[in-house]
Amino acid sequence: MPTILADSFTAALAKLTNEEQKQAKLTAFDLQTDPNRPGLQFHRIDASKDLNFWSVRVNRDLRIIIHKTGYSVMLAYVDHHDAAYAWAERRRIEAHPRTGAIQIVEVRERVEEIVIQPAPAQQPELPFPVPAAPSVSALPLFSKLSTDDVLSIGVPEDWIKDVLDASEDKFFTLANHLPQEAAEALLEYAATGVLSKPAPVTTDAYSHPDSQRRFRILEGHEELAAALDQPFEKWAVFLHPSQRVLVDRNFSGPVRVVGSAGTGKTVVALHRVARILRHEPQARVLLTTFSEPLATALKRKLGVLLADTPSLADRVTVSSFEQAATDLFALMTGRKAYLVGREKLRALINDAATPGGITKYTPQFLNSEWEHVIDAWQVDSAETYATVPRMGRKNRLGAKQREELWTAFAEVRRQLRAKALLTAADLFTVVTDHFRDRADRPYTQVVVDEAQDLGVAELRFLNAIVPNRPDSLFFAGDIGQRIFQQPFSWKGLGIDVRGRSFTLKVNYRTSHQIRRMADRLLPESVRDVDGEEDQRKGTVSVFDGIEPVIVVAPTIEEEATAASQFLRSLLEQGIRANEIGIFCRSNDQIARASKVAELAAVGTVSSLAGRGPEEAVLIGTMHLAKGLEFRAVLIVACDEGVLPLAARINDVSDEFELDEVVATERQLLYVAATRARDHLFVSAVAPGSEFLEDLADA
């Protein structure tokens, strides 16, 4: 008799104490071994309209709710006696009459009248005004939809009238009572005016894509143990249908998965790696991203996903772009790669330009030309420089100017080689050249997270270390979160994702209010150099929350007071310190972030030190926030001259580069803000960053 695990069980299990979880798991294992064992003390829940609900005794007060049919046992819920029975009495489990998906449905007549829930505990009084929450309409949201329309998207029959009558101020409360696929479709309709009706699915009920987002059929004790050992990591057990199709599908070429923050791109990348390892015994996979801290986080998450078969991890390497190249360089040459530091490189460029009398070009221009043209495209001769595309750069250069500049850049190249130093781009190129014409490549597949921050040399490198097969490259990223690299043509480098670029639209991490505010920082549509579009409009969050707080204070001291009051209120609401992050633009503002924690009397850890103990909040720069998530985020010191950072503005060489710097600084604030799930606080000293006007624009 198969055991079925429901996501409602894992969610309820996560709320129990550690000791209660252990006892519940032991009982769950007993159920899986012999569901008919008399010692389990089954009791039918007669007050439920679904007579397949039974309770199973864990201890004197704890009960597991199972749904038992002739051919399966489902672990549906777990809680203390009265709460467990109450949950079962107001639910039924059934196949939806139109879609065929198995749903856990709240019995409408057992639910009290849907009313607007009182707002969660208000933020503490702050000494400065904050933007008011936008007003909402009391008119029906779905008056243009028919009964058949809402039935087609999975709304249970006894909830149809509530949906058709729902106004904007009631909808999020109502959505909490609906199956997830129905709530998502209605949210998308409210945001875009388009109702996406799913195509008919001809399969057994538990294989339906919408069933698989909340139920999993388990094969044995190891699989059950792996699923229950990580109750907080629901993504490791259940996948959204839009994610699953990208994980399981076979593609005819390189694939790119895009979507705004919180839509599960990393989850798709991780499941793609796991699928490759499980289905291809000879696969050797590189899972890579732009930084080692983020690679460490990916390795931990992959360990969760492979918990039932940990030996699979032996065939995957998880590292940053640069570390992956460094490791291969060492294997190729038997020696360490020595990389030149940025300041040393800039000194070499300046010294090389001076003897030649190349003084009409500013240091900013020379540094930029090296970074974005010479080094990025690995220009190694005057002939190559004469023809290389200088995409988007508004300082046009004629043949004589390029010839003149090349004398300085050639001298920089000579000095680097004489000192056996490499730039990061040189490192990638050396490894690329080594493997380009070899039949034996170090990896069979590469899966990339945060792919928007790939540079030219990195992309060439990744393409060179895998064989020429359709499924060798899989990219996940968000064009709107690009914070390190200037744009360039992937197609021009032989990586053509046209027709294989997919956008995820469901945001699981960030509340409606935080997502809506953060989205004001970016355009509704972001298009890359090759014309591929990331259409951000229509992305929906699956839960409601609290309006973010924006404070522009007269002084640093008053900003710190307001931020510490906000932080203290979070702790008083029961949010643990290690579920909170405090971020600033650069290390120069870290002391201001630390002062906030000090005034709130809470300990701190740095981003590089990991998440830390429960009594410590995490403090770091916005760059290091990438890849992390928190229940609450405070972003402080968003001052004029700090965001965008004056040092970066002063370093630009032309108008195009200025636009790029401002865009990436804006995207950096977006990244930091979207690390927050429930609470967001943004502060500055007057007049504040120009970006705050966009955030506050209701």
Would you list which residues are annotated within the binding site for ATP? Answer: 259-266
| Residue count (the chain) | 698
Peptide bond into 644 cis (omega under 30): yes
Distance CA 487, CA 452 (A): 9
DSSP string, 607-629: GGG-S--TTEEEEEEHHHHTT--
Instruction: Tell me the three state secondary structure of residue 631.
Output: strand
CB atoms within 10 A of CB 166: 22
Distance CA 456, CA 460 (A): 6
- In which element (H, E) is residue 501 found? strand 501-504
Lateral strand order in the sheet of 603-606: 549-553, 676-685, 630-635, 580-584, 616-621, 603-606
Distance CA 92, CA 74 (A): 13
Distance CA 486, CA 458 (A): 13
In order of 228, 338, 507, 559, 666, the CA distances from 513 in angstroms are: 31, 47, 12, 23, 19
Nearest to 11 by CA among 207, 176, 221, 188: 176
**Helical ranges in 306-381 per DSSP H:** 321-333, 342-353, 363-369
Peptide bond into 687 cis (omega under 30): yes
DSSP string, 191-256: HHS---PPPP--S-GGGSHHHHTTEEEE-SHHHHHHHHT-TT-GGGT---HHHHHHHH---SS-EE
Residue positions forming the annotated binding site: 259-266
Structure tokens at 116: 């607007």
